[in-house]
Amino acid sequence: MSDFKNQPFAARVRHAFAGVRHAVGAERNLRLQLLALAAMLVLLGYLRPAPVWWALVLLAASGVLAAELFNTAIERLADHLHPQAHAQIRIVKDCAAAAVLLLAVGALCVAGALALSLWPAR
Q: Sign of dihedral through CA atoms 18, 21, 26, 30?
A: positive
- Looking at 30, 53, 65, 68, which residue is catalytic? 68
Distance, CA of 83 to CA of 89 (rounded, Å): 10
Q: Is 68 a catalytic residue?
A: yes
The interaxial angle of helices 87-118 and 28-47, nearest 10 deg, is 10
Give the chain's radius of gyration (CA, Å). Answer: 18
Q: What amino acid is encoded at 24 in this protein?
A: V
Active-site amino acid positions: 68
